Amino acid sequence: MPGGFLIQMAGHAGAGKTTVAHELAERTGAAVLDLDTIKSALLDAGLDWDHSSRGSYAAIYALVEDLLSIDGAGVIVDSPSYWPEIGARLTDAAARHGARHLFVECVADEAVRARRLRRRPHRRSQVTGPGSNPPDAPPAMDELHRRSIHRPAGTTRIVVRTDGPSELRLVLDAVGFSAVGGLSRQLPGTGIPGFPPRRSSTMDVIDHLTEEHRKVEGLLAQLAESDPGRERQELLDDLESSLSTHMAVEERFVYPVVVDVMGEEPEQEAENEHGLARDGLRQMRDLVDEPGFGAAVEMVTAGISHHVHEEEHEVFPALRERASDRVAALGDPEELERRVRDVEGSGGDGGPTKEELYEQAKDADVEGRSSMTKAELAEALDES
Ligand SMILES: [Fe+2]
Ligand SMILES: [Fe+2]
């Protein structure tokens, strides 16, 4: 029947299929049939691995039939697409119901997938890490992550990279929905860069900054529990990137409004606290493999918690009450982040320090440089 579509997700564990499927569902109103949801429920109900596998695919095919019989319905089947039969069954169902069939394959670098797998909460049917099968799987079963993905012949294949800038536009265009930007959903329980947190179109910069506070607190809590090694390094990379971008957005776009609404003192205090947080980040980086790391995390956590409390209990409420129009005028928080990242490079460390930027501004004769924040200096230099 015309207007319907069937999206067949594909990709290895940790490639971001479910995240992309949910994002597509949110934007198109399609129903998601998630293999892991059904299979884990069947395992919970007492079925063994083999019966749960067969049962979950049987349920998916039956539900696809039901849903595609609804006029204009969109259905997303979320599975790795390891079996040729899946593509064959779905191609057949789509053809019979006159629905467009798209094959959307999610890909991400192996290291990124491994990192996601280590951090995400696992369902019973899911692999727990690279090379480790789900606990319910028969011991002799071949490793799930070594299987290959099967694309049905003649189906449009769209590849969505989830470990870097990527676009859902192609998928949305192909199913007849207008393009509305890139990926915006965060993998649950992770802070993977290149896959920023989701936000609804009604989320303004204050909602977003508040959400980011929770993310930073989560990363600090994980760092406090971490052991020296690669995972700690990666968590620290995430923290540096998130926090640097967060502080730059506040300093460049939000704190100028704070000065107007609350005066210079609270703004100066906030900037000083950002300075302390940056010092703390540097110290964490210096001590990343040392016994003093825990103490450095504790110090940053205490500083951030004080700062965040003030922002959320004093600064943000004041902005909401007295400058809601200016907050709204700041627009899409993702765009603000993009702008500070453009100025600051990756948004993490490694760029010039404020002092270096100040020296450059002096050389370039930038007016008002002595009262500028780091982000403002960078922007003024960018424009000069
Ligand atoms: Fe702040
Ligand atoms: Fe903040």
Ligand 1 centre distance from Cα of residue 380 (Å): 22
For residue 215, the CA-to-ligand 1 centroid distance in Å is 14
Task: Tell how far the Cα of 46 is from the centroid of ligand 2, in angstroms.
Answer: 47
For the segment 188-220, what is each residue's pLDDT rounded down to a tens digit? Answer: 333 333 333 344 445 789 988 998 898 898 889
> Do 163 and 279 share a domain, yes or no?
no
Q: Quick one: which of 204, 21, 189, 9 has its CA closest to 115?
A: 189
215 and 331 belong to one structural domain: yes
Quote the strand ranges of 92-249, DSSP E: 100-107, 156-161
Q: Is-contact 282 240, C-beta < 8 A?
A: no
Among residues of the chain, what percentage have pLDDT more than 90? Answer: 46
Q: 10 and 127: one domain? A: yes
What CATH number is associated with residue 53?
A: 3.40.50.300
pTM of the entire structure?
0.50
Edge-first strand order for the sheet with 5-10 is: 31-34, 74-78, 5-10, 100-107, 156-161
Verify that 23 and 90 share a domain, yes or no: yes
More confident residue, 181 or 120: 120
Most confidently modeled range among 56-65, 220-229, 353-362: 56-65
Q: How far does the centroid of ligand 1 lie from the alpha carbon of residue 60, in Å?
A: 47
Say how many Å lie between the CA of residue 247 and the centre of ligand 1: 6
Confidence label for 344 from pLDDT (cuts 50, 70 and 90): low
Residues 74 and 133 in one domain: yes
* Residue 194 within any structural domain of the chain: no
183 lies in some domain: no
Angle between helical axes of 230-249 and 264-286 (0-180°, round to 10): 160
CATH number at residue 330: 1.20.120
Alpha-carbon Rg of the chain, whole angstroms? 24
> Does 172 score more than 80 pLDDT?
no
Residue 282, pLDDT > 60, answer yes
What is the chain's mean pLDDT, rounded?
83
- Give one DSSP letter per residue of 259-315, joined into a string: HHHH-HHHHHHHHHHHHHHHHHHHHHHHTTTSTTHHHHHHHHHHHHHHHHHHIIIII
Q: How far apart are CA 201 and CA 180, in angstroms?
A: 11
pLDDT at 355: 67
- Residue 151 token pair: 């694309």
Starting from the CA of residue 211, give the closest ligand. 2
- Residue 3: the pLDDT is 58
Residue 180 Cα, ligand 1 centroid: separation in angstroms?
30
pLDDT at 266: 93
Query: For residue 164, is pLDDT > 80?
Result: no
Share of the chain above pLDDT 70, in %: 85
On whether residue 384 sits in a domain, the answer given is: no
* Placement of tokens 């079996």 in the chain: 83
Q: Do 31 and 155 fall within a single domain? A: yes
Tokens (6 digits) for 13: 């564990």
Per-residue pLDDT tens over the stretch 28-50: 889 999 999 999 999 999 999 99
Based on the fold, state whether residues 162 and 223 are members of the same structural domain: no
**Domain shared by 146 and 241, yes or no:** no
103/21 same-domain check? yes
Q: What is the pLDDT of residue 162?
A: 78
Query: Distance (Å, rounded) from C-alpha 368 to C-alpha 370?
Result: 6
Rounded CA separation 55/16 (Å): 24
Give the model's pLDDT for residue 167: 58
Planar angle of CA 219, 237, 10, nearest 5 degrees: 85
pLDDT digits (tens, 9 = 90+) for 292-301: 999 999 999 9
- Give a yes or no: residue 357 inside a domain: yes
Range of the domain at 297: 205-377
- Residue 180 belongs to a domain: no
168 shares a domain with 70: yes
Distance of CA 298 to the CA centre of its chain: 26
How much is the pLDDT for 180?
A: 40
Residue (of 234, 243, 233) closest to 280 by Cα position? 243
Residues 170 and 222 in one domain: no
pLDDT (0 to 100) of residue 169 = 66
313 and 211, same domain (yes or no): yes
pLDDT given for residue 78 in this prediction: 97
Contact residues for 346 (Cβ-Cβ < 8 A; gap 6+):
241
Residue 22 lies in a domain: yes
**pLDDT at residue 101 above 70?**
yes
Alpha-carbon distance 179 to 205, whole Å? Answer: 23
Dump pLDDT digits (tens) for 8-33: 999 999 888 998 898 888 878 899 99
Partners of 74 in the β-ladder: 5
Number of domains making up the chain: 2
